[in-house]
Amino acid sequence: MQQQPISSLLAVVTGANKGIGLETVRQLAVQGVTVILTARDKKRGNDAVSSLQLSNVLFHQLDVRDAHSAAALADFILRKFGKLDILVNNAGASGVVVDVAGLRALNVEPESWLSGKATNLVQGVIQQNYENAVTCLDTNYYGCKRVTEALLPLLKLSSFGAKIVNVSSLRSEIKRIPGEKIRAEVADIGNLSEELIEDVLQRFLEDLKNGNLEAGGWPMMLPSYSMSKVALNAYTRVLAKRHQGMCINCVHPGFVKTDINWNTGVMATEDGAKGPVMLALLPPGGPSGRYFDQTTMAEF
């Protein structure tokens, strides 16, 4: 597979009206890639495009929870460009209801967030309800799958060797799941499939509904967010096995100050976008089916 000139590449970034997604668009576009900045809200998306002032960035609406919206985007790309080279699945939802003032008052150290030590401390100010868990899984896992499936026929037409970057989280790391049986299931690359991933998610929702999260061995720090990203990583591995000519990876962008973590993060979006951008521009034959902590390959 030949290395293509960067100016011939076309990328889609989901959830790109702000935060890490917007910065990923900017960094790709500054390097010469034509980027379709997508957002579920037309005004927020168009305002974001205007803020960049880059002629190689255009807007298209995309709500990752809506299959019609994904199909309309695929149709637009087919008619206007006839192929797609890079897909960055970045859109994400936290899945919890937060008492933001209460959270700020706790003054949680970044180190406690990252290590998980803050799990008990934040239980009083971060509520996991069923409805938000469904939204979270439908955005972070099923949304990524929906958009990827709609755009795969176009990615297969890339002569660059398509790249898919799934923006994950360190909450996805298998060692963070308390339940041994769940850890073994999602780590078993030989047996991973979408059916298995979705069975795990259904059992998670069932235990959440019945108040059995802790007894069931599920993560108690941001439960649905954590499980959505566990599922996203597992899906990344399934996809990478299936599409050997592509580079399909997932990445923890770092603890970045954005709305999704109520601005408790410590890194700037400029640094948070570095991992996704590096993986979007991997040379043909680069790593695939791997998890990165920012720009470094790490253990799932």
Among 261, 278, 282, 300, binds ligand NAP (CB under 6 A): 261
Pairwise CA distance, residues 18 & 118, whole Å: 27
Q: 6: which DSSP letter? A: G
| Nearest alpha carbon to residue 165 among 295, 69, 271 | 295
92/216 with CB nearer ligand NAP: 92
Nearer to ligand NAP, 40 or 243 (CB): 40
Among 27, 148, 158, 169, which residue sits at the site for ligand NAP (rule: CB under 6 A)?
A: 169
* Contact in structure between 95 and 133 (CB atoms under 8 Å): yes
Does position 249 interact with ligand NAP (CB under 6 A)? The reply is: no
Q: Is 224 in the site for ligand NAP (CB under 6 A)?
A: no
Vertex 12 angle, CA 8 and 13, to 5°? 135
- Pick one of 11, 246, 256, 282: the residue that binds ligand NAP (CB under 6 A): 256
Give the number of residues in contact with ligand NAP, rule: CB under 6 A: 32
- Binding part of the chain for ligand NAP, among 182-190, 200-208, 233-241, 250-258 by CB under 6 A, reads 250-258
What is the distance between the alpha carbons of residues 47 and 211, in angstroms, rounded to a whole number? 42
Chosen residue from 10, 11, 12, 17 binding ligand NAP by CB under 6 A: 17
Among 40, 83, 146, 274, binds ligand NAP (CB under 6 A): 40
Nearest distance, CB of residue 259 and ligand NAP, angstroms:
4
What is the Cα–Cα distance from 58 to 49, expressed in whole angstroms? 7
300 contacts ligand NAP (rule: CB under 6 A): no
Q: Strands, E, within the chain: which ranges?
A: 10-13, 34-39, 57-61, 86-89, 97-98, 126-127, 163-167, 247-252, 291-293, 296-298
